[in-house]
Amino acid sequence: MALLLGLLLLLNPGVWVRGAGRAAPHYIVVLGAAQYNGKPSPIFKNRLEAALELFRQGVAPAIIVTGGKRPGDRYSEGGVGCGYLRARGVPLEALVCEEQSRSTWQNLKNILPVVRDHPVLIVTDDPHLPRALLLAERLGLKARGYPVKGSFSSAYYQREILLTLLARLGFTDAYSDPAR
């Protein structure tokens, strides 16, 4: 029981949100999720809406939306997400669309040339956030996280716990980015 409690504390997003200290983020980074024929999936839409609200509150001056295409897709997640935010009033000059990545590792790795040393706020689902912040730390990003709440399946939580544990053991790069 103590081991399980320890693991839960280790994986709790609240522990990881401290990652970049108190520096104001320069970018809000929305991690990609499924899109269906040019429309964001419900999970992706929730992430985009959270980022939009943070942007409107002045949390950061720009938003990066990540995500490429899956086999057979006509649209990229990043492109769909940028279009969604643009249609809701985010100025084009405040958007960066990363459209090549196929994994969380690639989402974060591909934004490095844009982000450089600027602090970022990663917006993703509550179960996904610990792993995303761990990967961001591995890549040298100055990142904090914003957990998007929702009704997530226990399988999603279990998957993310397993992948986060594997990442902590050093298997993340190989799992997330086979080209490495």
- Residue 39: Cβ within 10 Å count: 14
Reference 128, options 114, 143, 146; nearest CA is 146
Query: How far apart, in whole angstroms, are the C-alpha atoms of residue 113 and residue 105?
Result: 14
Amino acid at 172: T
Reference 39, options 77, 70, 89, 91; nearest CA is 77
pLDDT, position 170: 80
The whole model's pTM is what? 0.85
pLDDT digits (tens, 9 = 90+) for 8-31: 545 444 434 444 456 899 999 999
- How does DSSP assign 118-146, residue by residue? --EEEEEETTTHHHHHHHHHHHT--EEEE
Which pLDDT tens digits describe the chain residue by residue (180 residues)?
Answer: 444 444 554 544 443 444 445 689 999 999 999 999 999 999 999 999 999 999 999 999 999 999 999 888 999 999 999 999 999 999 999 999 999 999 999 999 999 999 999 999 999 999 999 999 999 999 999 999 999 999 999 999 999 999 999 888 887 654 444 433
Taking a C-beta distance cutoff of 8 angstroms, is the pair 141, 16 a contact? no
Q: Burial level of 59, CB count in 10 A (0-12/13-18/19+)?
A: middle
Reference 30, options 89, 94, 74; nearest CA is 94
